[in-house]
């Protein structure tokens, strides 16, 4: 079954999420003070790990040697901090 799911992110440059294979990250927003990411997925697929990257404005985009997908830009901490969120398109083992 194809559904949309949400996970809460940490405010860190790189983190791993466990999601069904072929999940499609569609949005990242602040909800009730928490940084969240939403993704479309088939709940019948096996679980895999994917990396999420959060970059600050003016900082180098890392990693630049793998396939990443831009998800969204967010203003947080009373709009004082600008975050750019990306997802690794490769499955981790």
Domain count of the fold of the chain: 1
How far apart are the C-alpha atoms of 40 and 85, rounded to whole Å? 17
- Residue 76: CB partners within 8 Å, gap ≥ 6? 11, 30, 35, 82, 83
Please report whether residue 67 resides in a domain: yes
Please report whether residue 57 resides in a domain: yes
Please report whether residue 93 resides in a domain: no
pLDDT tens string, the chain, 93 residues long: the values are: 899 999 999 999 999 999 999 999 999 999 998 999 999 999 999 999 999 999 988 888 766 667 889 999 999 877 888 999 999 887 665
Please report whether residue 20 resides in a domain: yes
Task: Decide: 29 and 74 in contact? Cβ < 8 Å.
Answer: yes
Please report whether residue 71 resides in a domain: yes
pLDDT for the residue 55: 92
pLDDT for the residue 91: 67
Residue 66 belongs to what domain range? 2-88
pLDDT for the residue 92: 63
Please report whether residue 84 resides in a domain: yes
pLDDT for the residue 15: 95
């Amino acid at each position: 079954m194809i559904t949309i799911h949400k996970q809460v992110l940490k405010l860190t440059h790189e983190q791993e999420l466990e999601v069904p294979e072929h999940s499609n990250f569609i949005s990242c927003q602040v909800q009730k003070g928490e940084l969240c990411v939403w993704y479309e997925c088939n709940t019948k697929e096996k679980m895999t790990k994917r990396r999420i990257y959060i970059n600050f404005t003016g900082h180098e985009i890392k990693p630049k040697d793998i396939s990443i997908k831009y998800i969204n830009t967010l203003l947080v901490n009373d709009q004082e901090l600008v975050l750019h969120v990306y997802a690794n398109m490769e499955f981790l083992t």
